[in-house]
Amino acid sequence: MRLLPKDQDWTPYGYLIYLLYYASVPFIVPATAWERAISTGSVAIALPLYFWGYWLRGRRALWVVGAFVVLGSALGHINPAASVFFVYGASYLGKAFEALTAYKYLGGILVLIGVETWLLQWQAFMWIPAVVFTALIGSVVIQQHHSKRLTEKLLRAQEETERMAKMAERERIARDLHDLLGHTLSVIILKSELASRLAEKDPGRAALEIRDVERISREALSQVRSAVRGYRSAGLASELREAQQALETAGVHLEASVSPPELSPLQESVFALSLREAVTNVVRHAQATVCRLSLQQNGAFCEMEIADNGRGGALVEGNGLSGMRQRVEALGGALESDGSRGTRLRIRVPV
């Protein structure tokens, strides 16, 4: 049978010396037989209370505080060393309450000692140790538990921060993989289908398309490796070339007007990845024949608009469009969409 919880150190055993002092006083100073018997018997009550208090958590420890205060009040006129019971009671206040409330209860115990001293005419060597050590030990223990709670809160906050950082990183990786591979795999599918249709009619053209598939696959592998190293986009110029090639393969004519202002690497990356996602959606879903792209500065903003003459309709934000919006809003920008006449995406980022 364990007397103390597993997370408790050995120091409570050392504090029992005060209980030994209480039990020995009737045998050191003049005392009657029944006073000695009562003092010895009260030790049998105090010991279980003492160890039980270490197992209690929160406000339940108040039961032990009350029991020790009752013992100190009842036995003070029999054994002047009963002041130790007030000290023991005060030592559990820090466990039971937050610091401010614990100090209020500690003040209540000190007031009770003062009242009993006045009513029962306790001797100085009873009430002075009771007041001094109850206040001292009680305050020290309250501060210890207060510091422990603050440390635990800090650790929980750190754990939550780490958890949120991991979630954000997983979301970032998911967005990057979608942006990097979604567009490229769409182009590979289109070119493979085209090569399959041309295999018998125009073997030379089919071979060219297959070589393009090989080239694009190698570029995709390079992009994934770059993303792992933290470089998620090859830049706007590269994305424009890739967009034109993907649209031409899908039979969509590109009308482009591009004159961007000077952008930071992060801003350029956001525009490049947004362009990639938008073109991928045009190729996959729009059923368009024309795609218009404009990228230019408008006042304090850099604006990019991608519009097509496809089927339009209500836009459902999947992983790609949602990731695009998150990136844009992270830079203080905004993303607008309209599916009434074809599909139009407009991105505005402050520069």
For residue 229, what pLDDT band results from cuts at 50, 70 and 90?
Answer: low
Distance CA 101, CA 270 (A): 53
pLDDT: which is higher, 177 or 252: 252
* Section 7-13 average pLDDT: 83
Q: What integer pLDDT is reported at residue 344 of this predicted model?
A: 92
For residue 231, what pLDDT band results from cuts at 50, 70 and 90?
Answer: very low
Residues of the chain with pLDDT > 70: what percent?
Answer: 95
For residue 226, what pLDDT band results from cuts at 50, 70 and 90?
Answer: low
pLDDT tens-digit readout, 189-213: 888 888 888 888 888 888 888 888 8
pTM of the prediction? Answer: 0.51
pLDDT tens-digit readout, 274-324: 898 899 888 888 889 999 999 999 989 999 999 999 888 777 777 678 888
Beta-strand pair 343-350/301-308:
antiparallel
**79 class by beta-carbon count within 10 Å (0-12 exposed, 13-18 middle, 19+ buried):** buried
Given the structure tokens 């010991």, which residue do they identify? 47
